[in-house]
Structures are given as structure tokens and as C-alpha cells.
Amino acid sequence: MSTGSLLAADLVVAVLAAAGWLGAGAASAARRRPVALGLAAFALLATVARAITITALARAGWWFAAEKVLVAAPLSLAALVVSGAGLLRARRDLRSVAVPLLFAGYAESAALLVTVLHGYPASAGVGLLAVSGVVAATAVSWRLLGPRPSRAVSRAVVALAAVALVAGVGLAVAPAAAPAGQHTHEYRAAPTVGEPTRRFTLTAGTATVGVSGREVAAWAFNGQVPGPELTAAVGDVIEVTLRNRDIGRGVTLHWHGYDVPNDQDGVPGVTQPAVLPGQEFVYRFRADQAGTYWYHTHAVSDVGVRMGLYGVLVVRPAPATGVDVTVPVHTLAGVPLPVPRVEPVPPGVPVRLRLVNTDSTTHRYALAGTPFRVAAIDGSDLRGPTPLVETAVLIPAGGRYDLVFEAPAGPVGLFVDGRVVYSTGPVAAATGGWPVLDPLSYGAGAPVPWSRFDRRFTLVLDRGLDLHGLLPRYAHTVNGAADPDIPPQVVRLGDTVRFTIVNRSLVVHPWHLHGHHVLVLSRNGRPASGSPLWLDSFDVRPGDVWEVAFSADNPGVWANHCHNLPHADAGMMLHLTYSSI
């Protein structure tokens, strides 16, 4: 069973155990003896099953099981001891065992809440809060159902709940008192990189665009979705004037995957102010990386990109040969946008399909009718890519794959999520059953260029209750915190930096570090064996543990976030900053 499935199974058995004990307690209070015994037996089984899932998760990695081992396991043990002892003592009258059974239910519920609302890392404060809740709920049940406790017992219970509550609140709040990350807000002037050779103007504005025969409201660059395709050759200086006509929430341009100087990165509040209606901002940078990239607004990006403020950026190394097509895939107002039409290609002509996923979720692409190679991922050429036949590729949110092939005599078709988006003739390929390429074992391997790392960071991705904003929210968290309370990762220029990224949530998080490409070292303990993979967007699936590394060679303050943009908006965003010391 994969770690992702184990995480889901653990959640299910935790719910069943809590529901079973609570139901058994309620049934015994109502003197429903057979129901109470049945539910107690069911809850016992679920509790034992949870011991198995917790043990398996702890073996997969401490990040997956920390709070379960430290909080859930002791509470479950207490539940078993108290309810088991009660059941053994009770003869005919099960009502006397109602409170012990309810105690077990409260203990399992509290443990479940700790996992769902808090997660990783486990803390003494949260453990004590859980204990105080269990004690308080049990005391109330006891007063209502049980034999009246002595005054001394009542006082002891109240004191215990109060101490646990006060200590728990104190310990849970204490970390928030630590200063959050300081962002640099001193925006620097645009650098002098030489005379522009490629000039573009992008004007952002509200627009109405036609999709599949109906008119939908969009936000567009120059009135079109996607925005104009920007092209350059290596060595060009690109200058883009961004104007905002009427996007009230502001716009910027982020060059996704392009490692521009920090002040050109287009992150509002970090590298520049958002460009408001009537304002403009000029971006200028040298095109020194060939490959397939894209640009998009980073101001309220979850809304702005979905509404259409994006386009493709392609930098070609030399005069291109053959046919070179970009295929940006995007969903606007719930409808997949059509991809550009291509003229029929004579057999034998080389074709490069530049696939770009501009949505917030993974897409599955399948090319039918021809063998092909994956020549590049995220703008970086792969080493020794071999021909593939009837193989699908999964492209994460924000990611790009370049597929190359020689035009065959017969028709070819491109499928996205099982739907044909482009074809040069009738293709009837059932691509759904094709195997999916694992890029970590594709192409020719090469040694990792570093033997030691100056800095190591671990990012544990999860969900949790975030109480530090104006309104409580169920945030997407990193190491138990949500933006803007996630401490920045501080590096020095020249450091070799290693990240461990762990996903203990139940959803995919496409990870995206700005300003740098990371080299994939391993996934789930298996070293990358194929071509070196220099990525800027990669899917960290539930239960995944990725090890990646990069050279800290681009100073500034860089966003480091999930590229499922609603997740980033809901807290899953932190910053990588360079210290000057």
C-alpha cells in the first residue's frame, strides 16, 4: 500500500473508531445492550486497525505519524484500558459502562481532531488541549449519566482539565509569538542589461472571449486568452511594458521558470508593488535560457491566472528547424480552451510540441500515431532521451514538456485527459490504458554535481486550522503554519541547498520555487536514475517525499509555493531569502 493510501486509510479507521466508541457509549446509556456490545466490538477492531496504520506510517517517515504516535496512540491506549476495564466489570447493567465508553469516544475524537486540524509538527500544547477536551467532556458525561462522583474527584477533574487547557493554550500560542519572516520591500531599479532587442506591450483588461460557442467573462492580455506568445532568441534582451487598463485588484508579470533577476520576478508585495489600473511597469531581462516557459500575473494569482492573464514565452537557441508549436492547455470558465491549429506537416519534417500546463491541476497528455522523445522538461534539455511509444506523460500545474518527433506519413493526435485536442487525421487510440512516463528514470544519468550541502530544509505539506489571520481558516500549511507566518528559508549566495518536501495531505501539491531550478535527487527514497532533471514545477503527491537541491546563485527574496494557486492563496506559500552576511 502506498503512503498516500495509508494516510487515507488511517483517516477512515480513525473516524470509524471515534464513531464506534461514541455510538457504543450512547447505546449503553440508552440500555441497548446488543447494540452497545456490537459497536464496542467494532470500535475495538477499528482501534486495533489504527494501531497498524499508525505503525506503517511511522515506518514510512516520522513526518507522517508524529502526532499520531505522540497524541493519538496514548489517547487510544487510555481509551482501550478505561473502556475495556469498564466492560469487564459490567455484568448485566451496561449503563455503568456508558461513561468509560464515551471517554474512549472522546479520546479517539480528540486524536482525530489533532490530525485533521493541526497535523505536523506535533506539539505539547496541542496534546494538552486534546487532553483537556477529553477530560472536560468525560466530566460532563459523568455528571449526567454516572454515579455522582465525590466532591474530591469532581474538583480533581476540573483542576486537571483547567491545567491542561491553560498549559495547552499557552504552548500552542507561544510559537506564533515568534517573529514571522521579514520580507524585503525595498524594490530596486530595473537592471541595465543592454539595449532591448525584443519589445512587447501587454495591456491587462477585462474582456469577453468566445469559448466553444459561448461568450465568457475573462481577464486578458491585449484582449486575448492566452495572451500573445512572446518569442526571443538566446542572447536577446526582452523588454515588456505591462499596462493595467481596468483590473481593479492589480496585475504583475511573473516569468514562470525563467530565472530572472529578483526585481523582475513580478511578485507583488515582495519584488514590486502590484500594477493598478492606469499604471504601468517595464520588465527587462536577458534571454539567456532557451526553452519553453510561460508568463502570468502573480497578483491575486488564483483568480487572475484562471481568468486568463497568462501567455507563453519561448526562447529558441538558434534559427529553429522544422515545425515548432506551443500547446498551452487552460480551462476557462470550466471549459478547456482549444489549442492552436497547425498546418499539415510533410512526412519526415521534425516537429516540436511545447506542452504547457497553465491550469492549477495535473493534466495527462498522450501523443498517438508516432514514436516521440521528451526532449526537455521545464525548459531544460534532457540527456539521452529515448523514443517512446504509446506512453502518456503527466504534466504538473505550471510544468512544460517538449515532445519531439519526425512527422509520420499517417495522422497524429494529441490527447489531454483522454480528449483529443489536436489531430492531423482520424486517430482512434484508446490512450487511457497507456503507461505513464516516470521522468526520474528516463534518459541517461549523470552524477550529482555536489557532494555536500550547506543548508537543508524540510517542508511538510498538510492542512490545518490557521488562527493567526483575521478570520480562522482551514489553511494549506507548510510545517504547521500558513502564509504569512511560515518562517523564511535563509541562504547565502553560493550555498548548495537541499530541500526535503513531504506531502502528508490527501491532495497533490505542485511545488514551484521562483528564481531557481532544482535538481531532483530522489523520490520516496529511490534516487533519480535518468537524465538530470532540473525542474521548476513538480507534483508532490500524497505520501511523497522528494529530495531536491539547487545552487543559491540568484540573490533576492523568492516566492516558494504550491502552484495549485488556490492552495497558495490558502496559505501554502513561503519565501527563500538571501542573507547578506
Closer to Cu ion by Cβ: residue 363 or 509? 509
| Contacts to Cu ion from residues 136-175, by CB under 5 A | none
Q: How far is the CB of 463 from Cu ion (least distance, A)?
A: 10
- What is the DSSP track for 165-195? HHHHHHHHHHHHHSPPPPPP--PPPPP----
Q: Which stretch binds Cu ion (CB under 5 A): 38-46, 108-116, 328-336, 507-515?
A: 507-515
Q: Which one, 366 or 562, has the nearer CB to Cu ion? A: 562
DSSP-assigned beta bridge partners for residue 231: 314
Closer residue to Cu ion (CB): 201 or 362:
362
Closer Cβ to Cu ion, 407 or 562, answer by number: 562
- How far is the C-alpha of 204 from the C-alpha of 266, rounded, in Å? 14
Stretch that binds Cu ion, among 39-47, 163-171, 373-381, 503-511 (CB under 5 A): 503-511
**Other Cβ atoms closer than 10 A to 43:** 27
Minimum distance between the CB of residue 304 and Cu ion, rounded to whole angstroms?
17
Closest CB to Cu ion among residues 302, 390: 302
CB of 314 to Cu ion, least distance (A): 27
Question: Could you tell me the smallest distance in angstroms from the CB atom of residue 572 to Cu ion?
Answer: 5
Nearer to Cu ion, 424 or 505 (CB): 505
Candidate segments 88-96, 233-241, 496-504, 505-513, binder of Cu ion by CB under 5 A: 505-513
Q: Which is nearer to Cu ion, 400 or 567 (CB)?
A: 567
Sequence-ordered list of residues with C-beta below 8 angstroms from that of 76, at least 6 positions apart, any chain:
17, 47, 50, 51, 107, 108, 111
Q: Does 504 bind Cu ion (CB under 5 A)?
A: no
| Alpha carbon distance 64, 74 (integer Å) | 17
- The pairing of strands 534-535 and 509-513 is unpaired
Secondary structure letter of residue 148 according to DSSP: P
Q: Before 484, cis peptide (omega within 30)? A: yes
Cis-peptide into 121, omega within 30 deg: yes
DSSP state of 226: S
| Residues 431 and 386: beta-carbon distance below 8 Å | no
Question: Which CB, 463 or 516, lies closer to Cu ion?
Answer: 463
In degrees and rounded to multiples of 5, residue 310 shows phi and psi of -155, 165
Binding residues for Cu ion, how many (CB under 5 A)?
4
Minimum distance of Cu ion from residue 356's CB (angstroms)? 19
| E runs forming strands in 317-425 | 323-329, 331-332, 335-336, 350-357, 363-368, 373-377, 380-381, 392-395, 400-406, 413-416, 419-423
Stretch in the footprint of Cu ion (CB under 5 A) among 53-61, 438-446, 501-509, 533-541: 501-509
Under rule CB under 5 A, which residues in 510-569 are in contact with Cu ion? 562, 564, 567
b/e string for 343-378 if b means 16 or more Cβ within 10 A? eebeeeeebbbbbbbbbbebbbbbbbbbebbbbbbb
Instruction: Calculate the alpha carbon distances from 213 to 209, 244, 337 in Å.
Output: 10, 28, 11
Tell me the β-bridge partners of 353.
325, 403
Burial, 134: exposed, middle or buried (Cβ in 10 Å; 0-12, 13-18, 19+)? buried
User: In whole angstroms, how close is the CB of 116 to Cu ion at the nearest point?
Assistant: 17
Q: Which CB sits closer to Cu ion, 38 or 566?
A: 566
Stretch of residues binding Cu ion (CB under 5 A), selected from 215-223, 314-322, 337-345, 506-514:
506-514
Residue number with CB closer to Cu ion (263 or 378): 378
Q: Tell me the CA distances in angstroms from 442 to 12, 159, 194, 371, 373, one per residue in order.
A: 36, 62, 39, 15, 10
CB 363, min distance to Cu ion, A: 16
Residue 140's identity, in one-letter code, is V
* Residue among 479 and 564 whose Cβ is closer to Cu ion: 564
Sign of the torsion angle spanned by Cα atoms 562, 563, 567, 569: positive
Name the nearest CA neighbour of 568 among 154, 153, 270.
Answer: 270
Dist CA 297 CA 240 (whole Å): 13
What's the CA gap between 111 and 131, in Å, rounded?
A: 9
Q: How far is the C-alpha of 221 from the C-alpha of 347, rounded, in Å?
A: 36
Span 200-219, contacts to Cu ion by CB under 5 A: none
> Of the two residues 63 and 422, which places its CB atom closer to Cu ion in the complex?
63
Q: How far is the CB of 476 from Cu ion (least distance, A)?
A: 6
State how far the Cα of 31 lies from the Cα of 203, in Å rounded to an integer.
Answer: 72
Residue placing its CB nearer to Cu ion in the complex, 172 or 460: 460
Q: How far apart are CA 393 and CA 526, in angstroms?
A: 20
Determine phi and psi for 174, rounding to 5 degrees. -50, -45
Query: Closest approach of Cβ 483 to Cu ion, in Å?
Result: 12
Q: Which is nearer to Cu ion, 262 or 477 (CB)?
A: 477
- 509 makes contact with Cu ion (CB under 5 A): yes
Site for Cu ion in 269-288 (CB under 5 A): none
CB of residue 564 to Cu ion, shortest distance in Å: 4
CB of 502 to Cu ion, least distance (A): 13
Helix 98-113 crosses helix 124-145 at what angle (to 10 degrees)? 150
Shortest spacing between CB 245 and Cu ion, in angstroms: 31
Shortest spacing between CB 505 and Cu ion, in angstroms? 8
Question: To the nearest whole angstrom, how small is the minimum distance from the Cβ of residue 183 to Cu ion?
Answer: 21
Question: Please, what is the minimum distance in Å from the beta carbon of residue 461 to Cu ion?
Answer: 7
Taking the least distance from each CB to Cu ion, the nearer of 138 and 360 is: 360
Positions in the binding site for Cu ion (CB under 5 A) = 509, 562, 564, 567
